Structure 1
């Protein structure tokens, strides 16, 4: 039986990455199964069908935009949004259920039940974050470009946007774990992130590099296929082939993006728990309260203290 991973521990850069990969390795089957059955259908509809809708333009002189039904576009966009919200919900609700159930194996039905309850909370949080960042970026840009040099204004906007993006990287897990409203979750993010911004930035940067590499490696073969001139020739056979390639490319691309983005979500989740433990020591207090109990013997706390002293 696999050992349960303790979430509420203070961890450094290497430990957070290590525990994130360990968590994925131990739970990749139930997590990816839940992603496939809960978020997968919506994401595929929102990601694959747009390419197929525009595919009639291949090998024709007229553009494909006029041939696209606007209703289909709306359906695809909504499907992608719903799928993205559910993907976030699957990862974070799985982590929270894992902690609550002491690492017991989780079924897709349990995750689905939790995702249904938190769907609108996640959606509202994402919308609020986009509006706040987008609106703030726009207003700051208008002011900055009117009162200072353009290059300096651009640099300040990028710096400010990067800072807020890193701070808000734990916004969703804060909202789901602590069940607080949007603005209280924002304040909580700033509080937890004090003194740990650069560490969080480094973690997200590494995740971005890994995610980009995974997507590039997986999608590269389809790029070579798409570059073939024969693929988009007017013949019926090549047109059918183009549809197949577009569909497969869309499926592979979105699956690679979704699965690789899970790493960023999981790393952000462990960073959140580490920050909470660093600021409030909730995990340590719980272990003190559980000292001597059959489920958590006193030697666990003693061993933790030894490990901390040895690391120092």
Structure 2
């Protein structure tokens, strides 16, 4: 049993130290955090991943028929079952993302307040219950604003396209840069909502202010940790693509059509379920990294940790749990 050492959030950290702190936090809290994600977000993630596997299984089974001009393939894409399956898949993938995000941030909040990694799922669940509706509303608002932004860009593009192609290209590039800037600029929204208890718009404005001047470090941190998580999650899907390639080559060499057999359908369900569940667990990486970025920016711009240390100077620490083990 290793000695528990509390990870202090209120520290200004450089890029490398934020990466190290992220992995240290996950290593220290892996079991209780993974347990919380699996038990709270697990049901939605499992249903979403099964629907994802089913969707791709049906889609791949149509590929050979699409090439031969089979009317069955066209009917498949026009069918009610296809669109209802697609809608349900996106619904549960959306819900699983929201619940996973709420679980991660709720866990971090419990750790921050309790100053311990001896955390029960019930404690995390209490936080998730208070966050879930605000997170749903915030994500829907982001999607709505993004859709509105794209709609305006399309209208402007149509007008500029009639005037000059060069103007259209410049406007599209500027819009793309602006969209990415804003997307990174509001990256701290969800944790600010959890930590400071503010609404979406107030949290978005605060996120933009904190990240102002530190956009590249925020983008780099999120990008690198997301890439690491993405690469690890692909371990669960690569065997599936190998299986498809081997099956296709075997069918072609045998002179037959490539058909989606029962074994391939089973593989689709299995590997996509594992892949998506791994992806949701690995969502912890960029999210924890953004939490350390939040506290880093707060320290650099507001020195809240330093002010708290000054206020508590000379006071006994009743919550010191540094001898606790995990």
Contact preservation (8 Å) 2:32, 2:117: no
Contact preservation (8 Å) 1:10, 1:277: yes
Residues of 2 paired with 1:6 and 1:202: CA distance? 22
Contact preservation (8 Å) 1:48, 1:246: no
Structure 2, unaligned runs of 5 or more = 66-71, 161-165, 320-326
Q: Please say if 1:200 is aligned against 2:202.
A: no
Residues of 2 paired with 1:202 and 1:121: CA distance? 27
| CA 1:142–1:69: 2 relative to 1, 3 Å | closer
Structure-1 residue corresponding to 2:21: 19
* Residue number among 280, 283, 287 corresponding to 1:265 in the alignment: 287
* Residue number among 25, 42, 49 corresponding to 2:44 in the alignment: 42
Under a length normalisation based on structure 1, what TM-score does the superposition of the two structures give?
0.85
Residues of 2 paired with 1:43 and 1:201: CA distance? 27
* Residue number among 169, 184, 188 corresponding to 1:151 in the alignment: 169
Q: Please say if 1:183 is aligned against 2:201.
A: yes
Structure-2 residue corresponding to 1:130: 143
CA deviations 1:255-294 (Å, max 9, x no partner) are 2321222111111111111111212111111111222233
| CA 1:171–1:153: 2 relative to 1, 3 Å | same
Residues of 2 paired with 1:144 and 1:160: CA distance? 15
SS at match of 2:284: helix
| CA 1:269–1:141: 2 relative to 1, 3 Å | farther
Residues of 2 paired with 1:244 and 1:117: CA distance? 38
Under a length normalisation based on structure 2, what TM-score does the superposition of the two structures give?
0.82
Query: Aligned runs of 1:76-87 on 2, under 5 Å?
Result: 76-87=89-100
Structure-2 residue corresponding to 1:225: 243
CA deviations 1:34-84 (Å, max 9, x no partner) are 111111211221222243256457388533443726555444332222211
- What is the aligned residue count? 296
SS at match of 1:149: helix
Residues of 2 paired with 1:33 and 1:8: CA distance? 26
| CA 1:9–1:116: 2 relative to 1, 3 Å | same
Residues of 2 paired with 1:284 and 1:270: CA distance? 16
SS at match of 1:11: coil
Structure 1, unaligned runs of 5 or more = 298-312
Q: Please say if 1:119 is aligned against 2:137.
A: no
Offset, 1:102: 1.2
Residues of 2 paired with 1:54 and 1:211: CA distance? 22
Contact preservation (8 Å) 1:5, 1:103: no
Offset, 1:104: 4.0
Residues of 1 paired with 2:251 and 2:8: CA distance? 52
Residues of 1 paired with 2:47 and 2:129: CA distance? 19
Higher relative contact order (CA closer than 8 Å, sequence separation 6+)? 2
Structure-2 residue corresponding to 1:281: 303
Residues of 2 paired with 1:19 and 1:55: CA distance? 40
Residues of 2 paired with 1:157 and 1:260: CA distance? 30
Q: Which moved more, 1:271-280 or 1:47-56?
A: 47-56
Structure-1 residue corresponding to 2:12: 10
CA deviations 1:226-252 (Å, max 9, x no partner) are 22225898899x722122101111112
* Residue number among 100, 105, 114 corresponding to 2:118 in the alignment: 105
Q: CA RMSD in A?
A: 2.6
